[in-house]
Structure 1
Amino acid sequence: MEYKVKGIILHGIRYKETSLICHIYTSTFGRKTYIFNSVYKAKSKGKAAILQPLFLLDLDVFQNDKADIQRVKEFRLSYPYQSIPFDPVKSSLAFFISELLYKLLREEHPNQQLFDFLSNALLALDVLDEGVYNFHLYLMVQLTKYLGLHPTLLEEGTPAFFDLKSGHFTPIEPKHPSYMNRHLSRCFEQLYSITLTDLSTVHLTRSDRREFIDKMLEFFSIHFGGVIELKSLNVVHELFD
């Protein structure tokens, strides 16, 4: 059966000479794998160029519940980014975020709220001027709301530690090493509560950002049952250094 769906590209791999297989998070089916035939042929007029990580697409697809890879009839950009592909910081963040989502979004079930959040966040990143260096941290924290991992916050102003194992804040320092210190815990609370327009108000040093990302990856690893390692992490660290 044919469907019209919206999708966010997570990862792509070249298939044979002219085709591309992409993992896409869709509004209708959750995560799906699609084959884009003949996109590298000369007559395709650069169609492969728009199949990049985190690009937003409108797709006409054939859905076969018995098939592992679905076919694409037509596709086009939902929104042509104005800065993400050309800004070195934003494009590096896009690769980091796409790899993170590729590892985290495993379910073939629709989650319209999550899809809308991701789409709107990416559109915001494209026009964002201030606080860009905190965007990926914001997205990691916000994802907890949509993946069933959102923590219980303590009363405002209460010194706390974010316990990665329990997934909650505690006023008592945990006796195990899987937690955020008070400063990073406070930054987590800020990133959980603020909007994208206030990203520049979250103050983190380069070393803070490194540790924050490491702790968030540890948190996701604990609750998703496997170590989550990202090849793009070193690129992001080097860029910010």
Structure 2
Amino acid sequence: MEHKVKGIILHGIRFKETSLICHIYTSTFGRKTYIFNGVYKAKSKGKAAMLQPLFLLDLDVHQNDKAEIQRVKDFRLSTPYQSIPFDPVKSSLAFFISELLYKLLREEHPNPQLFEFLSNALIALDVLDEGVYNFHLYLMVQLTKYLGLHPTLLDEGTPAFFDLKSGHFTPIEPKHPLYMNRHLSRCFEQLYSIPLASLASVHMSRSERQEFIKKMLEFYSIHFGGSIELKSLSVVHELFD
């Protein structure tokens, strides 16, 4: 059966000479695997360039629930990016985020609210000028709301520690090492609560951002069962002073 769906590219791998297999998070079916036949042929006029990590697509697909790989009849860019493919910082963040989402979004069940959040956030990143250095941290925190892991915040102004094991804030320092210190916990609260336009108001040093990412990956590893390691992490660590 043919369907028109919107999708976000998470990962792609070359198949034979002219085709590409992509893992795509869709608005209608959740995460699916699609094959794009012939996109590397000369007559395809650069269509493969549209199949980059986190690109937003409108897809005409043949959906067969019994098949592991679905076929794409046609596709086009839903919202062409103006800066992400050309800005080295934003494009590096896109690779990091796409790898993170590839590891986290395992369900085939649709989550329209999550899809809408991701689409809007990526469109916002494309035009974002201030606070770009916090965007990936913001997204890592905001994802907790859509993956059933959102923590209970304490009253504003209450010193707290974010306990990675319980997934909640506590005024008492945990006796195990899997928690964020007070400063990083406060940054988590800010990134959880502020609008995307206020990202520049969250202040962390380069080493603190690295530690924050480490703790967030530990958090997701605990609650998703298994270590989440990202090849793009070393590149992101070098981006911001």
What TM-score comes out, normalization by structure 2 length?
Answer: 1.00
Corresponding residue number in structure 1 for 2:172: 172
Corresponding residue number in structure 1 for 2:59: 59
Question: Cα deviations across residues 147-197 of structure 1 (Å, max 9, x unaligned)?
Answer: 000000000000000000000000000000000000000000000000111
Measure the CA separation in 2 of the matches of 1:19 and 1:80: 22
Measure the CA separation in 2 of the matches of 1:180 and 1:42: 52
Corresponding residue number in structure 2 for 1:221: 221
Measure the CA separation in 2 of the matches of 1:238 and 1:114: 29
Q: Which structure 2 residue ranges, 5 or more long, are not aligned?
A: none
Corresponding residue number in structure 1 for 2:181: 181
Measure the CA separation in 2 of the matches of 1:234 and 1:6: 31
Q: Which structure 1 residue ranges, 5 or more long, are not aligned?
A: none
Question: Cα deviations across residues 79-117 of structure 1 (Å, max 9, x unaligned)?
Answer: 110000000110000000000000000000000000000
Say yes or no: does 1:133 pair with 2:133: yes
Measure the CA separation in 1 of the matches of 2:95 and 2:13: 14
Measure the CA separation in 1 of the matches of 2:138 and 2:234: 19
Aligned-residue offset at 1:3: 0.1
Give, as a single letter, the amino acid of the residue that structure 2 aligns with 1:139.
L
Aligned-residue offset at 1:238: 1.5
Question: Cα deviations across residues 46-99 of structure 1 (Å, max 9, x unaligned)?
Answer: 000010000000000000000000000000000110000000110000000000
Corresponding residue number in structure 2 for 1:36: 36
Give, as a single letter, the amino acid of the residue that structure 2 aligns with 1:81.
Y
Instruction: Name segments (4+ residues, structure 1) moved above 2 Å.
Output: none
- 1:70-219 equivalences under 5 Å are 70-219=70-219
Give, as a single letter, the amino acid of the residue that structure 1 aligns with 2:102.
Y
Measure the CA separation in 1 of the matches of 2:65 and 2:229: 30
RMSD (Å), alpha carbons: 0.4
Say yes or no: does 1:235 pair with 2:235: yes
Give, as a single letter, the amino acid of the residue that structure 1 aligns with 2:152.
T
Kindly tell me the number of residue pairs found equivalent between the two proteins: 241
Question: Cα deviations across residues 109-146 of structure 1 (Å, max 9, x unaligned)?
Answer: 00000000000000000000000000000000000000
